[in-house]
Structure formats: structure tokens, C-alpha cells
A and B are shown apart, each in its own frame.
Chain A
Amino acid sequence: MASPSILLPGDDVLLDLRSTTSTPLKVGAGLRLLHESATSTPPSYTVTAIHAGLLSTDNKRNAISVLSFANHRYIATINDLVIAQIHHSSLDYLHCIVTPHTPYALLGQLAFEGATKKTRPVLKPGDLVYARVLSVGVGAGTEVELVCVNPATGKAEPGGLGPLVGGMVFDVSVGFAARLMRASSTSAPGDTDVIILDELGKKLEHKGGFEVAVGRNGKVWIDCSSNKDIAVQATIAIGRCLTETDTCNLDPIEQRKLVSRTLRAARIDP
């Protein structure tokens, strides 16, 4: 499209909704579908914005959504991957913090790969888990439920779900976490605008590499313990790179510069 369209709440989306393709239109975050007139046949609809932001259209999936300001609060959505912190444990559930100042999310004591009543991970308050949002409940104000396992297969799918041991968590904005997730899901290189993790991976590969988990709730977990000598420096350097890319909205060229500058400052990559 020629110019990006920026919407304010109440603005109508000017799109031809009777799509020619067979896939139905998906109305994503920040938009709602309103009946124009219930009596007319066929019923006519309008799509109206409820957030301020940039309209993003995905022609392949026939989906539209509004990209809002990056700093807003995370609201749990089914199938999102989040990094949760255990607050306390009860008989059947672990009570986890997903975002501050919200009610605890529930994580079943047995919702881990290969967990039975006798063998299950023992998690203390403060421990971290990488989990998937199973349900946000039906109706108003019900609890968010998390799982670390695919209930159908009993495996930790997608990979890496479960307790996060060691490492360190950095807070980033919700919008940046979504960008990181999108960058890792698109397979073709050069197709993304966040290359910082690829770039760091290349530079740190011969030093033992690092592990990373991105939670949609604006948290990134980083573990560099494979190389004992530089574990702390590398973790801090990666965290700094991520937070700076987030706050300064760096583009790929600036991200490359930032990586080499930060690694040099941390005396990892002379």
C-alpha cells in the first residue's frame, strides 16, 4: 500500500470485506465487527477500530488487525507463549504471575511433559516457566490457565515448554516481544526487521552460543551458561542489545552496529 493507514478508535476500515478468496476475513486485535443494519438482506457489516494504531493487512491469511503502541499491557490470548513466574503452589495448581497487578494464572501441577503424581517438577516461588495459554475462560473475569505440555500428545510442544532453569529475564515492551516472535516464525532470512538475535547468535556461536525464550507478555529469558568464562557478560550484553533495540526502535542496520558495539564494550568480541 502506498501510505500506511493510521486509525483512531471509531474510524471505519475502508476495505472491501466481500473477499474474493475462499478464506474468510479474520478480524484481529484492535478491531471489531459491527452490524450496519440487521434488517437489510444481505446483512451489511462495518469493521471499526477500537485501538489507535497502524492498520496491518495480511493478504495471504486474509487477516486484518491494528498494531497499537508497543508499551501497552499484555492481555492473555489462547495459544500465546508466555514466560510466567511461580508465585505460590497449591494442591492442584501452581499460581503464576504473567503480568504484574493482575490475578494469578493457573498452571496445573501435572501439566508438564511426562509428569505423574510421583514424578513432577518441584517449582519454588520465584521459579520461571515457559508456558502456553490453554484457556482464558468463558465469560467475564475467569482465570487464565497455562500448560507446559500439549494435552493431546503429552509432549512439550512447541519445543522448549517447561521450567526455565538458570539464565536471566529481561523486560521488553509487548510490541517488541511480538516482533521477536514474528521474526523467529518466518523462515526466510531477510524477511524480518528484527535481526538482533540472529546477529548475536552468529557472533556468539564459537563462544558456546546462548538459549533464549520469548514470552508474549513482554519478557525475554536468556541463558549463556554454556561458556562459564563469559556467561555473565554475554547475558547482560544480549539483554542490553534487546532493550535498546526496543526503546530506540532500531532498524536492521542500526541493530548490527549495536551488536558489535555492545560486544566490544563487554570485551567478548574484540
Chain B
Amino acid sequence: MPRPTATLSPLLRADGSASYTCPSTGCLIMGSVNGPIELPGRRDAQKPEEATLDVLVKPGTAQAGVGEKYVEGILKGLLGRLLLGRETGFPRRGIVMTLVVSGGENGGKVRRGESYLPILPALLHTLLLALLSAAIPMSMTYTATAVAVTSTGEIKGDPSVRDAASAVSFHVLAFSSKGHLLLSQSEGSFDLDLWEQVYEHAYATCRGSQPVTADGDISMIEDASGYNLESFVRKTVEDQIHHDYSWMNNDA
């Protein structure tokens, strides 16, 4: 299984930033987070008790359109449950998150009418890492994965854009670090039994261990080293912390 790569805080002037390469679709996503800031000329968007979230998704070489607005809505809905927008300094301010998609097939452009779901997990991971880098208070972290079901009924993790186009049904699931299902977006035709299988596959990819199923059988999808997406996020953060705090005496 090809693994994603990520860099934390590549941008110096932003409060927090991250870049992320998705191995299956090949897209490179750069995310930056600024907050808490005053949204200029947006008195109407201010919420008196909590922070306003503003997510912007930009395709590499085109203007943002309806597809981007739709995916921004999905991201905003998910983050609204995780960000602690009532901490000191955050009410009545805004958190502005910008994601730029580049690289991959079609030069990072999701063409008009095409689905954003194949790169949604990559967008979610970039956003999470950028938020961590900006030290925005969050109640927990999350991981996300895409699953395609082929015409033969095979469940395929980490589908490429081509797999997604030929799939009978396509699913994106996100799990919090405590195991809650945070997001389930599906396309195509499927029944509930199939969705259960997809859920188990996605859970194993994101969190490693399987949820206990009714019939008690557990199939191992994680590879021998115990790698899963949650450990990837943790490893990325730990590496950056070790780098940033390299000046600190080890005995301190």
C-alpha cells in the first residue's frame, strides 16, 4: 500500500500550514490556516458566542465553482463538531482555512461535474494537519479514507481517480480519534450489507483495529508494521515536534 507524505508548517507567514501528497490520486494539497482573526467586512458572519469557520477550496488552475462550494460545506460541517470555537480569543472571530489542490491527474483540476469525493480524504487530512500546526483548539483528531466497490463486488481501498470513475459505488468515511463515525458520503448504488463491509474496511484502514462485528470475524487489513492512518498523523506530528524542539535539553 503506498503511503501518503505530509509536511507541517511549510509556510512561514501563515499561522499554520501543511502540505499533503495523496498516493492513490497523486494530488498535492497545500493548506493554510489563519485564526483567530477578524473577518474583514463580514459583520454578518460573526457569531457572538463562537468562532466562524471559513473553508476555501481552490483548484490549482481554475476558479472555484459549485463543486468546490459543495465540498467546502462538507468540510465545514465536520470541523464544526471538532473545533472548540468557544475558547478564549475565539468568539466573534473567524478561522480561515484555505486548501489549494494541485498535481495529480488533470493537473489537480477536478473537472466540472466530476465528483470531489476521491480527493476528499486528502483534503480532510491536509486540513487536520494545518489546524494542528496553527494550534487551533480541537476536541479530538480524525482520519478519513475512500473506498470503491467495483462491478464484481470487490471492495477496494485507496482507489485512484480511474477506479473511482469505474466504481459501482464510492464511499468516503471519516472517524474521530475516539472511534466515532464523523462523515459518511456515498455515491452510486449499494445496499446496507455492502455499506457495513465498507465501514469495516474503512475503520481498519483509519484506526487499525476492527470494530467487533456481530459474527465475530476480524479480517486484518493493516500491514505487518501496524501502520494505519491514525499512526501516520501521529508520526507526522511527532517528527515535526522533535524537529521544532531539537534545541531543548533532553534531560530537562
Task: List the interface of chain A (C-beta within 8 A of B).
Answer: 4, 6, 8-11, 30, 48, 50-54, 67-73, 75-77, 100-103, 136, 140-141, 175, 193-194, 247, 249-252
B248 at the interface (CB under 8 A from A): yes
Across the interface, do A6 and B84 meet the contact criterion of CB distance under 8 Å?
Answer: no
Expressed in whole angstroms, the Cα–Cα distance for A30 and B34 within the complex equals 18
- Report A-chain residues with C-beta under 8 Å of the C-beta of B244: 69-70, 175, 249
Q: Please give the number of chain B residues whose Cβ is less than 8 angstroms from any Cβ of chain A in the complex.
A: 50
A-B contact pairs, 20 of them (CB 8 A): A9-B141, A9-B177, A10-B138, A30-B135, A51-B135, A68-B135, A69-B240, A70-B244, A71-B12, A72-B16, A73-B15, A73-B34, A73-B134, A73-B135, A76-B89, A77-B88, A140-B91, A140-B92, A175-B244, A249-B244
B112 at the interface (CB under 8 A from A): no
Across the interface, do A136 and B12 meet the contact criterion of CB distance under 8 Å?
Answer: no
Q: Known contacts A10-B141, A72-B15: does B241 contact A53 (CB below 8 Å)?
A: yes
* 5 pairs of A and B residues whose beta carbons are closest in the complex: A10-B140, A141-B92, A140-B91, A72-B135, A75-B89
Across the interface, do A102 and B135 meet the contact criterion of CB distance under 8 Å?
Answer: no
What is the predominant secondary structure among interface residues of chain B facing chain A?
loop
- Report A-chain residues with C-beta under 8 Å of the C-beta of B48: 140-141
- Report B-chain residues with C-beta under 8 Å of the C-beta of A51: 132, 135, 137-138
- Report A-chain residues with C-beta under 8 Å of the C-beta of B91: 140-141
Residue of A nearest to B96 (CB): A101
List 6 other contacts, CB 8 Å, given A71-B134, A140-B49. Answer: A48-B139, A50-B87, A50-B137, A71-B9, A73-B34, A101-B34
Across the interface, do A102 and B37 meet the contact criterion of CB distance under 8 Å?
Answer: yes
Task: List the interface of chain B (C-beta within 8 A of A).
Answer: 8-9, 12, 14-16, 34-38, 40, 46, 48-50, 84, 86-89, 91-93, 132-135, 137-141, 176-178, 233-234, 237-238, 240-241, 243-249, 252
Contact partner, B132, options A52, A67, A140, Cβ 8 Å? A52
Contact partner, B38, options A4, A11, A77, A101, Cβ 8 Å? A101
Expressed in whole angstroms, the Cα–Cα distance for A4 and B250 within the complex equals 8
Residue of A nearest to B237 (CB): A52
Q: Known contacts A102-B93, A136-B88, A140-B48: does B140 contact A249 (CB below 8 Å)?
A: no
- Report B-chain residues with C-beta under 8 Å of the C-beta of A52: 132-133, 135, 141, 237, 241
Across the interface, do B139 and A50 meet the contact criterion of CB distance under 8 Å?
Answer: yes
Across the interface, do A10 and B177 meet the contact criterion of CB distance under 8 Å?
Answer: yes
- Report B-chain residues with C-beta under 8 Å of the C-beta of A69: 8-9, 16, 132-135, 240-241, 244
- Report A-chain residues with C-beta under 8 Å of the C-beta of B247: 193-194, 249-252
- Report A-chain residues with C-beta under 8 Å of the C-beta of B14: 71
